[in-house]
Chain A
Amino acid sequence: MNEQVAVAERMSSAKPLSIAILAMGGQGGGVLADWIVALAESQGWAVQATSVPGVAQRTGSTLYYLEMLPAQDDVMPVLSLMPTPGDVDVVIAAELMEAGRSMMRGLVMPERTTLIASTHRAFAVAEKEKPGDGIGNPLIVVEASEFAAKTTIAFDMEAIAACSGSVISAALYGALAAAAVLPFDKAAFEATLRASGKGIEASLKTFEVAYARAQNKPKDEVRASPPKRFEPLPESVGQPALDTLITRIWSEFPEAMHAFLFAGVKKLTSFQDPSYAGEYLDRVGELHRLDLANGGERQSFAFSMQAVKYVAIAMAYDDVIHVADVKARGSRFERVRSEVGARDGQILYLTEYMHPRMEEVCGTLPRRLGEWIEARPDLFKRLDRLVNRGRRVRTGTLFWFGGLYLVSGLRRWRRGTLRHHCEGARREAWLATATSLLLTNYSLAVEVLECRRLVKGYSDTHARGRSKFDRVLSALPLLSEREDGAAWLKRLRQAALLDEDGVALDGALKTVATL
């Protein structure tokens, strides 16, 4: 035993420096690991790198792990093939939630670990597929990293790489150099990049930008979502019809509502015309007066605030005319050019994927005619067979643009269409439900307005949204007398946004039924 203890005393106290790289398959985590290996070897260090890429990892999370220490001539170190939680010096995460994952795995320690993370998001399927907003809150990751990491370098390295025409690994490598956790100078980092072969100039440029950025402003401010774009209400825009609308907002509504009202008025003027926006002001004005009469002031006009938003949304329903109008506008042509990165001298043509059905056609017909056809299922079916198929609309050609132009021109007759009539009837029914609750259960009335969020999409999706809306509101008789009715309705609405088929909603409805 004494001998064993003696051995222990003779042992080296050297510890390897450890680096874990968390990336998604296809992000180039392996390239980054290779650069670091080449760098360490060029500086006379012994280095070991491993990974569990599994060729089939594809877009999934992957981990690369490196250990290194100064080489000794006669003996190779024994290095670990995997990170030990609580024992990692540098964690490099190629995406924000992967940084979160590294902390969940216990790889980031307050007294020890430098966390280098790109703050951009690549949303996972689980986040994207929710009918509502399933995006994970990035601030949770930021808060955790502020607590868990010794030092954090976090900014959008994907954007920097894209700007310089390179890949994120070069930006991460630049941030690693700037972090000064590896005892190698910047020139050594660059030399490794230069020796690596492909796309050297772009990589070096990205490296340089990220290096400077990590030194000057190592942390980006991360926001959960971009702020909503509210424009201040102008005094006048110099156009009589529009100025009338503006004046009405100034004079008829409290200031807190102005921004939303202006957004609504703008939207509806664009959707239809100024007089339609005037109808909107009439309607929300009425609702606001009801709100006032029912003690809304004490509630900071919560009812009016939601009415202003959702009545505008409900009035700007998504019909064929609207879609054609959006697609045919000149401003859209310009926006798409920049979105798809078309450069000067390049020609851009757009093809729209549309699938009109007889329902949409009927909705665009004059009300009586539309109803007449809808009342004859056989005829409807026969016409549907003619209409119902995918149409590839080549917007840049004269024939198809002409078609879109004509359909969007139907705007003038929109008020007479079947769809307009149906939307109006539905809207009034919904508002009647909400206002009927205003006196007895103010907060529930507000929630009823917010349920309009469930109605969205086109065709089947729209029908599904409607049915969810109806199902959620079907619980009202059970909730209207309850003080916590609003909280329950909110829960139902949230459940409805969790999955497509409304499984969560059915569960929530059952719970409500047992109240």
Chain B
Amino acid sequence: MAERSFAREVEGLKLGEGEVFRGEGILAITKALLQSGVAYVGGYQGSPISHLMDVLADAKDVMADFGVHFETSASEAAAAAMLSASVMYPVRGAVTWKSTAGTNVASDALSNLSSGGVTGGALIVIGEDYGEGSSIMQERSHAFAMKSQLWLLNPRPNLPSIVQAVEVGFELSEASSTPVMLQVGIRSCHVHGQFVAKDNQRPAFTLKEALENPRRDVDRIVLPPASFLHEKDKLERRWPAAVAFIKSRKLNEHFGPPEGEVGLVLQGGMYNGVMRALQHLGLADVYGNSAIPLYVLNVAYPLIDDEIAEFCAGKNAVLMIEEGAPEYIEQSLNTILRRRDIQTKVIGKGVLPMGGEYTTPVLLKGIKAFLDERQRALLRNQPPLPDPTPVLADPKVKALADVVPPRPPGFCTGCPERPIFAAMKLIEKELGPHHVAADIGCHLFSILPPFNIGGTTMGYGLGPASASAFNVTADKRVISVMGDGGFWHNGLASSVGNAVFNKQDGVILIVDNYYSAATGGQDIPSSRARNPRRNTNNSIVKAVKGVGASWVRQIDRTYDVSQMRDILREALTTKEKGPKIIVASSECMLNKQRRERPHFNKAVGEGKRMVRERFGVDEEVCTGDHACIRLSGCPSLSVKHTDDPLKDDPVATVDNSCVGCGNCGEVAEAAVLCPSFYRADIIHNPSRWDCFVYQVRSTVIRWLQHRRQASRIAFEA
């Protein structure tokens, strides 16, 4: 079950013609898919489209009503391959993933798909994880569109434009027999807005019909000589068809006056930022009126040469506003104009930065520099620009840099991965530092303080694969870490199979938290929950044994730091050759709490005997060294200044958000830290027997305490 439920929002997907839909971008995309008569949907979760997958999963009933098949794909490659249903049959399909990471994984299938071409509309919704809030390498998906000849839509970031892009995307795909990518940014995915809905459509042609009436055409298969025909078809038929469609449907938009000395060409996604920058310069208003001609590329690829030539002709210069590097569109613009011998100057990365997110200040600076150079008169009425620099330069604000701490994401309160890395820290103290190959997932937070473990990360499920060069005789072994998400995505074959086959003499640590946790707690094959629509409870241990691993250890409670440490030690020192695989399993605490807390509260409300555990620190025993924190980093384990005049440094403290996972105590015990920690078991609705035993114990204990107190000569506390 995913972390966030969209059950309530999904009701909006049922809206009909003329009703106003209000909600987030991802919901709007789902609604648009239904309005387009999509027959199947698949994808792989990952920010910023994780919630799109969650919405689709929560919308299963609505989708089922319309005969839509939805699948949580094993990987982006699986999702892309799913689109092959649209190769021979006139069914519309859509898949989604995070890009560019996911597009990299999917690109094999994408190349084959686009080579043979499609019959039914094939739409790939990619969440472009770029700029602030991104968690991956900063690259552009644009390159995939160009190399495989997929069309790339980049609509203006408002709900009506995004919805229209989905609908028209299918049409474009069908008109040009080409898969279409729809690119949405992080903020567009989460933007709250509204649009006027249409009725949902049943698929015109169903998958059932396809299965019962199979078709084949060997010319659609990527094998010579067909592959050469594909290339020809792509260039000579599909491309012109796409251009004609885009032109006739006016997918790219013009704003502002029809004529001008200068103009701006921009990707659709840049529109709101550019308009805000123009507004600051006094050249646009909040309702979309612009004093400068704008040519907005809602279709970022292919470019429409005629439209560009027409827009540029007669202008002395245009500014190409294109986020990311390399500047593919700017290069194409120059080529188009050069071929037609149009002398309009193309300025782009000359005044705008080559890389990085185009925030409003960045755009403002670039556009201003462009106008300064090309048409200064426009800046005549410029109002004062927002300028934080005097405030930022003030010593009082500058002083903040010394006290405001960095706050990167980290392990949650009670995270079961924390004790794993605490154990690795303990082993590090014992056996020295090791080369640790990390992977993608929550466990990658280990590279940050306080653990500082992990040297590289090479991709999802590729942690152990990225350690494969270190398969040489040495006094230390390589350790690689991989999550259960990565394991099922790619890791079983590429990492474990590879390590077994090559007799890799390293340690492979598989962190099993029962979910694809980092992306929002979606189920995966080894999830322990019973999911009626998926096959879960498939053992990772069996899977690795199935591909030939022999040294396999399973830990069913990662919080047992001593055991965790001992198994790590054994794996690092055993004489046995081949990969030493440790599967460390405990449920993601975020999901566990979400699942169990309501049950707990309900049971307490019903008067059932329930025990709640949490941890605490005896302030008087704590000496303020914070060694416990350096082996934990738990949000609920904090520090506080004390009013004890004989203590200089802040003491450790456990706050009310503690979920009683046990890590503090286990670490204090395993690392021989200090006896400050205690676990408090609070018995709600104690039974009569509980009360009786407690009464007896308390009476004796209190008597002893009084006796001691009476014999003690001391000041009152």
Contacts and interface: CB of A to CB of B under 8 A. Distances in A.
A37 B411 CA distance: 30
Interface in B628-676: 629-630, 633, 635, 637-639, 641-646, 648-650, 656, 664-666, 668-675
Contact of B713 (A87, A103, A273): A273
Nearest to A396: B697
B423 to A, nearest CB: 14
A390 B625 CA distance: 20
A119 interface: no
Interface in A37-84: 37, 41, 47-63, 69, 72, 75-82, 84
B631 to A, nearest CB: 10
A37 B665 CA distance: 44
B528 to A, nearest CB: 21
B449 interface: yes
Most buried by B among A227, A339, A353: A353
Interface in A384-413: 390, 392, 395-398, 401, 405, 408-409
A106 B388 contact: yes
Contacts, number: 447
Nearest to A239: B713
A204 B260 CA distance: 55
A51 B691 CA distance: 51
B276 interface: yes
Contacts of A54: 47-48, 129, 133-135, 186, 409
A260 B645 CA distance: 8
A126 B678 contact: no
19 contacts: A12-B287, A15-B286, A58-B442, A76-B158, A78-B288, A79-B286, A97-B403, A98-B407, A103-B391, A106-B392, A128-B629, A144-B396, A144-B397, A269-B713, A351-B679, A353-B668, A354-B669, A398-B697, A459-B673
Contact of A52 (B186, B620, B648): B186
B497 to A, nearest CB: 27
Interface stretch (B30-38, B107-115, B702-710): B702-710
A295 interface: no
Contacts of A197: 8
A493 to B, nearest CB: 11
A138 B411 CA distance: 25
A471 interface: no
Contacts of B411: 58-59
A13 to B, nearest CB: 7
A330 B697 CA distance: 13
A7 B375 contact: no
B157 interface: yes
B352 interface: no
B715 to A, nearest CB: 5
A313 B396 CA distance: 37
A87 B146 CA distance: 38
B643 A229 contact: yes
Interface in B144-203: 157-158, 160, 185-188, 190-193
B442 A104 contact: no
Contacts of A97: 403-405, 407
Contacts of B132: 52, 63, 82
B681 interface: yes
Contacts of B391: 86, 103, 106, 108-110, 147-148
A100 B646 contact: no
A125 B406 CA distance: 9
Given A7-B257, A273-B713, A457-B627, A52 B675 contact: no
B374 to A, nearest CB: 12
A505 interface: no
Contacts of B396: 140, 143-144, 146-148
Most buried by B among A264, A265, A460: A460
A226 interface: yes
A180 interface: no
Interface string B597-637: 00000000000000000101010110111110110010101
A4 B683 CA distance: 75
Interface string A1-37: 1011101101111111000000011100000011001
Interface stretch (B267-275, B302-310, B320-328, B453-461): B267-275
A295 B410 CA distance: 54
Given A54-B47, A144-B400, A14 B674 contact: no
B621 A266 contact: no
Contacts of A144: 396-397, 399-400
B140 interface: no
Contacts of B8: 197
A60 B672 contact: no
A391 to B, nearest CB: 8
Interface stretch (B239-247, B277-285, B469-477, B566-574): B277-285
Please tell me the size bucket of the interface on B. 35 or more
Contact of B708 (A34, A132, A353, A405): A405
A308 to B, nearest CB: 10
B562 interface: yes
Interface in B380-427: 380-381, 385-389, 391-392, 394, 396-397, 399-412
Contact of B286 (A12, A241, A354): A12
B644 A229 contact: yes
A401 B703 CA distance: 12
Contacts of A457: 623, 625, 627, 673-674
Contacts of A265: 715
Contact of B135 (A24, A56, A323): A56
Interface string A450-493: 00010011111100010000000000000000000000000000
A352 interface: yes
Contacts of B192: 33-34, 37, 47-50
Given A10-B289, A48-B191, A147-B396, A124 B407 contact: yes
Contacts of B185: 81
A302 interface: no
A242 interface: yes
B717 interface: yes
B353 interface: no
B714 to A, nearest CB: 5
Contacts of B287: 12, 14, 72, 75, 77-78
A251 interface: no
Contact of B678 (A12, A47, A230, A351): A351
A340 B680 contact: yes
B334 to A, nearest CB: 25
A347 to B, nearest CB: 4
B190 A51 contact: yes
Contact of A104 (B400, B637, B684): B400
Nearest to A80: B276
Most buried by B among A1, A328, A408: A1
Interface in A315-334: 316, 318, 322-323, 326-333
B191 to A, nearest CB: 5
B9 to A, nearest CB: 11
A78 B639 contact: no
Contacts of B519: 55-56
A127 interface: yes
A26 B677 contact: no
Contacts of A226: 641-643
B49 to A, nearest CB: 10
Contacts of A63: 132
B518 interface: yes
Interface string A104-133: 101111100000000000111111111111
B292 interface: yes
A339 B256 contact: no
Given A129-B629, A241-B713, 16 more contacts: A48-B192, A53-B190, A55-B51, A62-B133, A69-B286, A81-B157, A81-B272, A100-B400, A130-B626, A144-B400, A197-B8, A259-B645, A350-B681, A355-B672, A456-B649, A460-B671
Given A457-B623, A457-B627, A347 B649 contact: no
Contacts of A109: 386, 388, 391
